[in-house]
A = this chain, B = another copy of it.
């Protein structure tokens, strides 16, 4: 089955084109929690083809319909905990996801892992591309791991990731973990999708730089300093204290109870501190639900994505020639100081009629 998924993922367009899609059947499969259907459904929302887009919208609408349309499965009311996870390469994200995911599946929870990776288009690489990074979890029947698609562009990444999360939720997963890498823009996307945002760091010695982009600290609900084991434990605890201090200097947000955002030590390798971190996540989730922040965040996110889709639709004209070439030519003239931004914009808008 994993091989079949991999083939679809590598070549979503062809894999999809070669057979007729029965959207009703696909929706029922997703609602029944079938992982193969889920993989196909994600491939469908990832497709850039116009006919696939129509089918994807149909699929998403069906999954929000009352249960009798889905062979008795009521997928509409299902909510997963959507967990964003960011961390620069080398901090041990894969090991963390493997250990953390196995802890949760061991408790009978169903865990989906997705990746938001805008860099894969350029680098050719792909986070989560190699499932051997999470060998045990990828074989776990209660887990679903989805590598990031190649050829991603940022606007598309946002839409696709959001819809993939909705599909995992409709498939009845309890937790959807959305992994990203610390490049700023992708974190903003993840923050607009997830309920809680985790930042994973590695221990640093003394004044050593951590490579944390400043805006990312703002999003974190929980900072986990990994590798708090063996020789690195003292450094991890010191790093944790440094970040705890830095967090105290920042303003408390209305959606946080006393003591949050919080910094904690974990060891993904030794599976140490993961239960404590999970407890904090649950405590934060419970508090936010009790105080209405959970619901209002989801409502605000939904509205944000609606408005983004509308803006995206209106601005789509700029992404296509001849408008695209014209925008680029005028932009270069502005950079070179040959035209003012205002004059160039007036010219551009005039050319769009």
Contact = CB atoms under 8 A, between A and B. Distances in A.
A248 B209 contact: yes
A66 B307 CA distance: 44
A250 B210 CA distance: 6
Interface in A246-303: 246, 248-252, 299-300, 302-303
A106 B296 CA distance: 53
A345 B310 contact: yes
Nearest to A220: B214
A204 to B, nearest CB: 8
A352 B310 CA distance: 10
Contacts of A341: 162, 302-303, 305-306, 308-309
Nearest to A330: B306
A344 B303 CA distance: 10
Number of copies: 2
Given A246-B246, A318-B310, A341-B306, A211 B251 contact: yes
A60 interface: yes
Interface of A: 57, 60-61, 64, 162-163, 207, 209-215, 217-218, 242-243, 245-246, 248-252, 299-300, 302-303, 305-311, 313-315, 317-318, 327, 330-331, 334-337, 339-346, 348-349, 352
